[in-house]
Structure 1
Amino acid sequence: MNFRSMVPVDVWRDLVDRGRRRTYPSNSVLLAQGESPDCVIALVDGLVKVVQSNESGDELTLTLRGPGEVLGEMGVLLGRPRSATVTAARRCTGIVLPAHAFRGYVERHRLETVIYQLTVERLNSHERLRADLAHLPPTGRVARVVSHLADEVGYPQGEAGLLVELGMPRTELATMAAMRRSSALVALGQLQSAGILTLGRRRLLITDMGHLRAVARGEELCGVKSSEDATPAM
């Protein structure tokens, strides 16, 4: 679910037509945590990473977002500083709309309910993820995170499966799963050994979504080779 999927085509087009198109190189910052919300960005191409920092400076990758998302909308509507940093996981194209123009756009198309529904769904999704991770074993944690990312940014590849572009090292999945990097890499290797997914460079191809969902629910992983054979290279 993203903003574009929740509004009519002409409403999305109105947003795109009213803004200024801008290209963001890989690793560049689109929005910074704590900054004043002076605009929103409608993502029309690319992949972004949403990261939140705590008072100690530790960073947690919250999720990935793809085309069709509107970034920074809640800060603009509530008049509050940005709650997270959004960076380009790979080259992105966005439509930048000033805060006052976006507020007018929302009012003109009566999108308050849509924004509310989208925000609640995102919060619920994040809370469900955190709650699930609290009781799952290591492989289940990684499966749950991969399942979450598949829902957010997965692209069907026909009979081949579902492609998830990470745009970041696989070790960052460990921070999302609240576990050590070495344990996350072993878990990824086990999922690959079981025929659930194939590991690529900053991407995953999910070949057995049903099995992945089952492991993400805490069910036993089937068809795993020895841990030595299952451990992927960095």
Structure 2
Amino acid sequence: MRDLVPAEAWDELTSGRRRIHPAGTILLRQGDTGTHVLALLRGLVKVVRRDIEGRERLLSFRGPGEVLGEMAVQNDRIRLADVQAISICEVASLPAHTFRHFVERHGLPGKLACLANDRLWEQTQAGEGDLDQRLAGALLRLVAMSGDRVFRLTRTELAQHLGAGRNSVSDALRRLGPSRVRADKTCIEVVDERLLHDVLRRYPV
């Protein structure tokens, strides 16, 4: 969202009440009414949807400059997923009616529709094709959106995001190797972005 509006408009959007949340906090909850949006100023979050049988799918990650919960507000519907902090997060809260007015005043409906399409494409890319490439792409997106290289993520969470089994993700991490990425039980570290880009381009290593 920050890239869609002038700097002064983003400052206006984030001028509301600010709060800092520790990692693990549920910032928005699936099934709740869309009463407000959150502008993410600092930190990294994951968007997780549960099906009726309780299975979870990690749909996407979001970083600074994103607005969270805008779909429920724009469509006047319940929230379709949880948004949970992966790291310490600072957010600014904006009531639904204020956000809708902001969107209209800055001519954003079309841009938000394009943004929703981009997010759908991102989810599709995460779930289709060669697993090594999908994993490399997901890690590079995390680096790009956060500016960090170390993430509090488990193999299970990566598997939920990529639509793969946990063991398959562990095998993919081994194939990528410690020259590209290191992983332990609760942490993923991107070692060399260039080598991960090579995986995306199918260059020999």
Sequence identity (%): 35
Report the equivalent of 1:147: 137
Aligned to 2:47: 50
1:174-233 deviation digits (Å, cap 9, x = unpaired): 22223322232122122125x333446623224143x4345346x4864xxxxxxxxxxx
Within a 5 Å distance, the mapping from 1:26-105 to structure 2 comes to 26-105=23-102
The superposition leaves residues 117-173 of structure 1 with CA deviations (integer Å, 9 ceiling, x where unpaired) of: 2111111221233233xxx2xxxx14413313422x3159xxxxx844432223321
Kept in 1: contact 2:38–2:69 (CA 8 A): yes
- Max radius of gyration: which structure? 1
Matches within 5 A, 1:155-234: 155=144, 163-193=148-178, 195-199=179-183, 202-209=187-194, 211-216=195-200, 219=202, 222=205
Q: Distance in 2 between matches of 1:113 and 1:130?
A: 26
User: Which aligned segments of 4 or more residues in structure 1 are displaced greater than 6 angstroms?
Assistant: none
Answering whether residue 2 of structure 2 is matched by residue 4 of structure 1, we say yes
Change (3 A) 1:208 1:91: closer
After TM superposition, give the deviation of residue 24 of structure 1 in Å. Answer: 1.5
Question: CA separation in 1, counterparts of 2:56 and 2:90?
Answer: 25
Pair 1:30–1:168, CA change in 2 (3 A): same
> Which amino acid is 2:109 matched to?
E
1:62 CA displacement = 1.5
Structure 1: runs of 5+ lacking an equivalent: 157-161, 223-234
- Mean alpha-carbon deviation: is it higher for 200-209 or for 38-47? 200-209
The number of residue pairs the alignment matches comes to 203
* Structure 2 unaligned spans of 5+: none
Find the counterpart in structure 2 of residue 14 from structure 1.
12
Distance 1:34 1:221, change over 3 A: farther
